[in-house]
Chains A and B, each alone.
Chain A
Amino acid sequence: MNETTVQLNDKTARTHILQDLQHQAAIASKVYVQRDYNSGTICKFQTKFPSELESRVDKQQFEETMQTLNNLYAEAEKIGGKSYLEGCLACMTAYTIFLCMETHYEKVLKKIARFIKEQNEKIYAPLGLLLTDPIERGLRVVEITIFEDRSIGFGR
């Protein structure tokens, strides 16, 4: 019981940190991770570690986040049995099925949104960073906002 209370407090604290960052801290700068087109037109982001984040976050951690993100997008765009079935069914119904059914891609996008929120709460907000869901930037970039460390007290 104590543990769960502690866990709950921890999560609330984390969410508060996130909210505090968004409302109080000033934006120091923004870093953009561009798309990686080496594998074609599929949605994939560069996993190269940006130099501006060197002082803030562990390189391994960041690359792991980006890799998971890329894997999720690959899952969304995967061409396989399931997507063919969905496509053929849609064709048969003259694509009216898209009006009532949520596509596989949309389901994975929701999963990605949850993943990013969780990553922000657990890892990046305490470090004064905020990842923006790429869908809000048209799947062009992953925007990482670097906040000034006034509230955390690290100093710039």
Chain B
Amino acid sequence: MNNCEYQQIDPQALSTPIPTPTLPQPTVVVEKEKREKARKKWEVFPGKNRFYCDGRIIVAGQSGVLPLTIGLILVTTGLFFVFDCPFLVKHLTVFIPAIGGVLFVFVVISLLQTSFTDPGILPRATPDEAADIERQIDSSGSSSYRPPPRTKEVMINQQVVKLKYCFTCKMFRPPRTSHCSLCDNCVERFDHHCPWVGNCVGKRNYRFFYTFIVSLSFLTAFIFGCVATHLALRAQGGRGLMFALQESPASAVELVICFFSVWSILGLSGFHTYLVASNLTTNEDIKGSWSGKSGAEDTVNPYSYNTIITNCCSVLCGPMPPSLIDRRGFVPVEASSQTSATEMELPMLPVKKETNVCAQGTKDLLGSASRSPCPTTGKPQPVAAADPAVTFNPALISDPAAMPSLTCGGRHHSHTTSPPDEPRHHHHHHNRHHRTRSRRGRGSKRPALHISNPAYNASLSPPSSPGPRPSHTGARDPRRDSIVALH
């Protein structure tokens, strides 16, 4: 019973400052949750992205050096317009600032679109889907505790392509999809994660990215040329370069910035033009998937249309696919409140019936063994990766700091805003240890389980009596599954 009381207290600590470890309390919380406004899907998004303006704008978890990129562009172009343009307009033509202006607008707009657009994130599999896939794998493959990496082979254009199973997103990745560890999402047609832009570059925003680097290379080259002309004109008549620089010191700054940028940006544009023309992604090019580097002969890119024009058109001018994550949709309330009500009333019975009871391997977790004997009413549902109904749990709602803000302020979706008290802190450490062990070098740097309910962390209490690992608990296997994957 010690465990039960402990589990009960923690969610209460989140909702009210006075811990009341009595049973009716969580029911009140659940009813309150039913009456409250439904949450939007971006608020329960399991990846590491951040959302602004009520889900309209999406950025990666780490903004990288995006402020630096914006700053450099603004500063250089600003200096150009203020210090170089007047001279050049007087001596040359008025078209110079006009062209500069157009290029600048293109650069800024495409940069913002690259940074703030969903790159093609694949939503994680719902628990039922994950269970279905597991069932198929288990029926066909081995049933050892730690199964080998799961792959599936498909034939695309007479080329064998291996599809890998993503343990985080609980699904077989479509071809050309890759899981970005920085954003913790599977991204379709994953190119790379660009720190300059602060976002992944994938199917949906590749054309914005390409426009950005091409227009930026034009802009840098243009400014460089104009500034050089400006200094040359000033230095005419035997007055010398030093005199020109003294008269217009800002030009020196611009010259330096542009000189160093133009090589890298032009190089990058050239590289991506090659990729576009051969319908490759940076990821595939680096790994050498289709160039035969990996040893297999006769590997050709099965996605290429074999003509440069068609490849370019399909990549850059193809139809714009929709965002699959539906950020601004509402999390369905009915199913979750029904389930939580059931949970409240019948704490000892398994909540959902349709799960795969023959869960094995990564689905077993010591913590869930300690949880199942004492399913308390205060225990919120663990956060399943993609099932919105499950993520809608009382403790998160009652956390005032996690209440959705409808303003355009930055709203981090992470719910660990309440400072972890000591026992939870202990679990954070405990969970992180679990995760690094089972992630197998996936390079997880993120803080412990910040998407999951902190109270759930608490419920994975260090078991005083661990109990046996159940392989047939039935109740919450798929959801536990997702939590286990996080470990």
Contact = CB atoms under 8 A, between A and B. Distances in A.
A84 B320 contact: no
Nearest to A85: B317
Interface stretch (B119-127, B392-400, B414-422): B119-127
Contacts of A35: 174
A35 B38 CA distance: 31
Contact of A37 (B156, B318, B386): B156
B130 to A, nearest CB: 10
A95 B319 contact: no
For chain A, the bracket of interface size reads 35 or more
B211 A106 contact: no
Given A95-B109, A141-B129, A135 B316 contact: no
Given A94-B109, A94-B211, A138 B302 contact: no
B232 interface: no
Given A27-B354, A140-B129, A86 B319 contact: yes
Contacts of A83: 317-319
Residue among B132, B155, B320 with most chain A CB within 10 A = B320
Contact of B317 (A31, A37, A87): A87
B303 interface: yes
A145 to B, nearest CB: 9
A78 interface: yes
B154 A79 contact: no
Residue among A76, A77, A105, A138 with most chain B CB within 10 A = A138
A78 B319 contact: yes
Contacts, number: 108
Interface in A82-110: 83-84, 86-88, 90-91, 94-96, 98, 103-106, 109
A40 B176 CA distance: 10
Contacts of B161: 37
A84 B319 CA distance: 8
Given A38-B155, A143-B129, A103 B320 contact: yes
Interface stretch (B237-245, B321-329, B467-475, B479-487): B321-329
B88 to A, nearest CB: 25
B317 A88 contact: yes
Given A38-B154, A138-B325, A98 B132 contact: no
B81 interface: no
Contacts of B109: 94-96
Contacts of A40: 156-157, 175, 302-303
Interchain residue pairs A-B with the least CB separation, the first 3: A87-B317, A138-B123, A138-B324
Interface of B: 105-106, 109-110, 113, 122-123, 125-126, 128-129, 132-133, 154-157, 161, 163, 171, 174-176, 188-189, 207-208, 211, 302-303, 313-314, 316-322, 324-326, 354, 386
